[in-house]
Amino acid sequence: MGKTIILIRHGEAEHNIADDWQLPDPGLTEKGIEESKALASKLELIFPPQSEENCRIVVSPLKRTLQTAHYGLRWLLDRGVPAEVRAEWQETTDNPCDIGAELSEIKEEWPDYDFSSLDPIYPQKTGMYKNSEEAFQTRASFARRWLSERNEDCIIVVTHSGFLKRVVKGPKFRNVEYRTYELVEESGELKLIEIDT
């Protein structure tokens, strides 16, 4: 089997329960924190220890995804698995809830994460980050291509439901739901095909 990609949607966040898309970069609720801790227990059971040796964590730069990774993947971070923050995995809309804080602010708050590859345009919603279906598809294609070019055996991505539905086909991800994929190329197009774990 080729490279394994695990895609995870963040835990329940404040805007999810308030149904308020005007909240700026909301964090996880208490339930979201507990969901993320439960995710850690599930993943640790199915994740073979040898996989840690050639694995990478990729996280959207929004607060709720960083917190989900902190609580849900802490066991991997503590074992030295690198965690990289990448702008292409952010959420799609330009509502305040989907616009993150400035790099100087988040970098200070999350010292365990590598921000060196974060697109300097972040958090602006322009170019492939703007709120349009064409931009979403461009960004999803960019994300799949980036995954294909990595040499790790396993990449775990913590991201958002709106962007996930552009990256993969299938039903909407629930909070902290994870699915496992294999990256394949069909007719010159990269696709993520879901596999059983």
Catalytic residue among 10, 56, 86, 144: 10
How many CB atoms sit inside 10 A of residue 45's CB? 7
Give CA–CA dist 99/149, Å, rounded.
27
Catalytic residue among 160, 163, 178, 181: 160
Q: Are strands 55-59 and 178-186 parallel, antiparallel or unpaired?
A: unpaired
Q: Give catalytic status of residue 70 as yes or no.
A: no
Give CA–CA dist 86/59, Å, rounded.
6
Are 109 and 100 spatial neighbours (Cβ–Cβ below 8 Å)?
Answer: no
Signed CA dihedral, 119, 124, 129, 134: sign only:
negative
Maximum alpha-carbon separation in the chain: 45
| 137 Cβ contact list (under 8 Å, min separation 6) | 166
| 188 Cβ contact list (under 8 Å, min separation 6) | none
Q: Give catalytic status of residue 160 as yes or no.
A: yes
Among candidate residues 74, 110, 107, 69, the one with its CA nearest the CA of residue 89: 69
Q: Are strands 154-159 and 55-59 parallel, antiparallel or unpaired?
A: parallel
Question: Which residues are tagged catalytic?
Answer: 10, 160
